[in-house]
Amino acid sequence: MNTVNDDELGQDYEAFYLNEESEQDSCLVLCIEERDDPEVFESIDTRVFVSYNEITKMYVVNGKRLDVFSKRGRNRTNFKPFMFCAETSNDVSEFLGLTLNTKEQFSYTFYNYNNLSYDSNENTYSFMEQNMDKRYLIAAYDNVEYNKRKFRKLVNMTKKMYN
């Protein structure tokens, strides 16, 4: 399990929330990262964010395969982000099982985002990725094997935890 201590946050760390006024608008976000090589932390193949929209009563999945760059720095793949909605945690789990290489190991992290829009279309993959801030981190686990039942429980947690 990854833990973050106050020293890692830096000297200018003052508050846990970037916007304390929005603490009442917290949203649990699940980030799942498929790794090409579990020993190399930066070897992310695919990153997926799962959240639950209380207004639409839908799970929202934002994801992207991370691009591969040549030694000269040219983007060889230019993968595009995706966004899908689903009514049930089982639908999301089935999608994850088809999208991710279930034979690889994963990392997953729960974040507390207090700056999500009520309009899911505004919560793009880019927005989610830019807000992967350790001050929002609740819990993180590395080198987890795929288990559909466990992933469904993780996805379902985004619906059950709200304020």
pLDDT value at residue 50? 96
> How many domains is the chain partitioned into structurally?
1
Strand partners, 83: 62
The more confidently predicted of residues 145 and 48 is: 48
Quick check: is 149 in a domain?
A: yes
Range with the largest mean pLDDT of 37-41, 83-87, 142-146:
83-87
pLDDT value at residue 23? 56
pLDDT value at residue 92? 95
Quick check: is 122 in a domain?
A: yes
The more confidently predicted of residues 11 and 55 is: 55
Quick check: is 63 in a domain?
A: yes
Whether the CB-CB separation of 33 and 146 falls below 8 Å is answered with: no
Full domain range(s) for residue 31: 24-160
Distances (CA, A) of 29 to 13, 75, 96, 116, 147: 22, 29, 15, 10, 19
User: Is 80 exceeded by the pLDDT of residue 85?
Assistant: yes
Quick check: is 18 in a domain?
A: no
Quick check: is 56 in a domain?
A: yes
Q: What's the mean pLDDT in 6-27? A: 51
Q: What's the mean pLDDT in 108-135? A: 88
Quick check: is 8 in a domain?
A: no
Quick check: is 9 in a domain?
A: no
Strand partners, 62: 49, 83
Could you report the per-residue pLDDT of 17-54, keeping only the tens digit for each? Answer: 455 554 556 889 999 998 876 666 677 888 999 999 98
Quick check: is 12 in a domain?
A: no
